[in-house]
Structure 1
Amino acid sequence: MDNADYIESALRLANARTDDLESLRAELRDEPWWSSRLTGRDLELLRDVATRLRRALESATEGETDSLSTEVNSLLRDYPPRPSLSRHGHGHDPGWHIHVADPEQPPSTEIAAAAAWGMAQGIVLHGTDRWGRCQAPNCGSYFLDTSTGRNKRFCSTRCANRVHVAAFRERRRG
């Protein structure tokens, strides 16, 4: 993973449904090494981490830098990255990569460390004014605006299209 992936991990967990284990597995499907190994114990811990990430993101979107710093530093203290070099390849391609926590530990350990590290890296790389919350009704997902114009309002193309189509239909009715 690179820093962008860690930032995405933080956002994915913050926006994840943590109602039950299957919902969380579905949210983390892009990381099968994590999602396939999750247990009920992991769910409890990650539910707490997701709540704390949302508080940090809310602080970022509101420009509350003191509470943002406090929240992210608390996550880093509780789930510190402990990088280790690993390989899973064979032959000429050893498949080198870095785990942010001991891969022998429960997956929640690595997910929490990756999310904490991702939030910290996102703030260092992009500042605090590029974090946003989707303006689509019934969404509210957080995102990082890396657009040139810094004018992103929606978490995804899907949400943007839904809002624009609804506005278009309303104008046609009016």
Structure 2
Amino acid sequence: MDNADYLDVALRLANAELTDLPTLVETLREEPWWADRATDADLAALRPVAEALRSTLAAATDGDGETVLSGVNTLLEKHPPRPRVSGHTANPWHIHVADADAPPATEVAAAAAWGLAQGLVEYRLTQWGRCADCGNFFLDRSTNGTKRYCTTKCANRAHVAAFRSRHRG
């Protein structure tokens, strides 16, 4: 994984409603080495991490730098990355942010904290958004920085609803 992947983990975790283990597994589906080992203990450990990510991202979308710094530094303090170079199975060498035998929640929390920190350093407070349709957080990488929706699906849903509203007599 690289820093962009860790940021993606942070956003997926922040946007997930961690109601049960299958929801956590679905959230981590792009990282089967976490998803396949996730337990109820991981779910319980990641709920407060997801809430802290949401609070920090909400502050970022509000342009509240002080709260963002406090939030991300608290996440890093509670879930410090412990980088390890790994070269297992058919994968080329890559970095894990926790010991290989750590529970998934330990690595997911550290990856999310590190990803958010890297994202905030690179993009500051100017490119974070909250979807006008579903409320999910996203990073606006568009050229003009005016993205309002997290996905094309949300944009289409909002545009169809607006179209139907205009054409109802």
TM range (shorter): over 0.9
Shift of 1:78: 0.6
TM-score (norm 2): 0.97
Structure 1 stretches of 4+ moved >6 Å:
none
Q: Structure 1 residue 88: deviation in Å?
A: 1.5
Within a 5 Å distance, the mapping from 1:49-128 to structure 2 comes to: 49-89=49-89, 95-128=92-125
- Give a deviation string over 1:120-150, Cα, whole Å, max 9, x none: 00011111121111001xx110000011110
Which residue identity does 2:100 align to in structure 1?
P
Give % identity: 57
Aligned to 1:148: 143
In 1, Cα distance between the equivalents of 2:15 and 2:155?
Answer: 17
Cα deviation digits, residues 8-32 of structure 1 (max 9, x gap):
0100000012011111111111111
Unaligned runs of 5+ in 1: none
Indicate whether 1:8 and 2:8 are aligned: yes
Normalising by structure 1, report the TM-score: 0.94
Gapped runs of 5+ residues in structure 2?
none
- 1:35 deviation in Å? 0.8
Tell me, yes or no, if structure 1 residue 22 matches structure 2 residue 22. Answer: yes
1:95 Cα deviation (Å)?
1.7
DSSP 3-state at the match of 2:18:
coil
Structure 1 residue matching 2:167: 3-state secondary structure: helix
